[in-house]
Every structure is written in structure tokens, then in C-alpha cells.
Homo-oligomer: A and B are copies of this chain.
Amino acid sequence: MKSRLIAEEKTQTWILVFDAGDEVASTLKKFAEEHHLAGSSFKAVGALSGVKVGWFNRETKKYETSADLKEQVELLSLIGDIALTPDGKPQVHAHIVVGKRDGTAHGGHLLEAHVWPTLELVLTETPAHLRKQHDPESGLALIRIED
């Protein structure tokens, strides 16, 4: 594990309120690009009319769909961060937990989620830039902190 102090004083806190019908992953990505976010973390609650989440398969090195829920669910937790890809674009990494009508919880890596009626997300952007590098073992771009 490596660590880095990313803010000693000035951080920016944003609230993002999603509208009914918004798709979460693409809306968040667009927001990150428009605001040039490079070192953010966030958390959110809300409700969704549908959600698709993934599980990373170590053999294929790809995300497979682990749940594709076409029903109204409570968004219990959406936690994630934003860092820069190797070519300098902001990349959103978000994991999600939802609650179904029977109270059971389900979740995974956020692939797609449709808001209804609202989603309230609080995001903190720090002055530090987080950078990702290609990780040959997993095939993913992972945040790398220089020694």
C-alpha cells in the first residue's frame, strides 16, 4: 500500500442532484470532464428505476454483468473516486449497493443506472491529481502513487 496526503486545507465540495431519467455513469463522466476533475471522491444515495452492475473476472480480465435489475430499487450506497487515465482524461470508478423490494441488498461495479426520482451525490475534489497507470496483471488502469 502506498499513500499520499492529497489535501491539507482547501478542498472543494460539490453537491450533484440528478434528475429522473439521468443515467448515472455517463452523467458523472460528463461532469468530471467538464470540470476537469483529477482527484475526487464521492458518495451518494437515491433511487433507481433500473441498474446494471459488474463483477471483474480474473480469467478473462473483463467485467461481466453480475446483476441487471429492471425494477425500482433504493440506491443504498454509491461510493467512488475520479482519477486521470494514462492519457490524462478523468475516469470515474464507482461501486454501488441497492436494496430491492424484499429488502435484500445487491451490488457491484457500476455499469449503468437510471435515476428515479432523484440521486443526491456529494463530491470532494482535492488539489492533488491522481494518476492511473496500466496494470499488466489485471489489464486495468489503476491509481498509482509514486514513491
Chain B residues in 8 Å Cβ range of A17: 1-3, 142-145
How many angstroms between the C-alpha atoms of A72 and B79 in the bound complex?
Answer: 19
Known A6-B15, A130-B15; judge A105-B97 contact (CB<8 A): yes
Instruction: For the complex, count residues of A whose C-beta is within 8 A of B.
Output: 80
Cβ–Cβ < 8 Å partners of A101 in chain B: 55, 64, 66
Q: Which among A53, A66, A95, A142 has the highest number of chain B CB atoms within 10 Å?
A: A95
**B residues near A96, Cβ cutoff 8 Å:** 76
The secondary-structure label for the interface of chain A is: strand
A99 in contact (CB, < 8 A): yes
Chain B min CB distance to A3 (Å): 4
The residue on B at minimum CB distance from A117 is B138
A142 pairs with B130, CB closer than 8 A = no
Give complex CA distance A93, B75 in Å.
12
In the complex, how many angstroms separate the beta carbon of A15 from the nearest chain B beta carbon?
Answer: 5
On whether the beta carbons of A16 and B3 are closer than 8 Å, the reply is yes
**Sample (6) of A-B pairs whose CB atoms are under 8 Å apart:** A7-B12, A8-B13, A17-B144, A45-B93, A76-B97, A99-B109
Q: Within 8 Å of chain B (Cβ to Cβ): is A33?
A: no
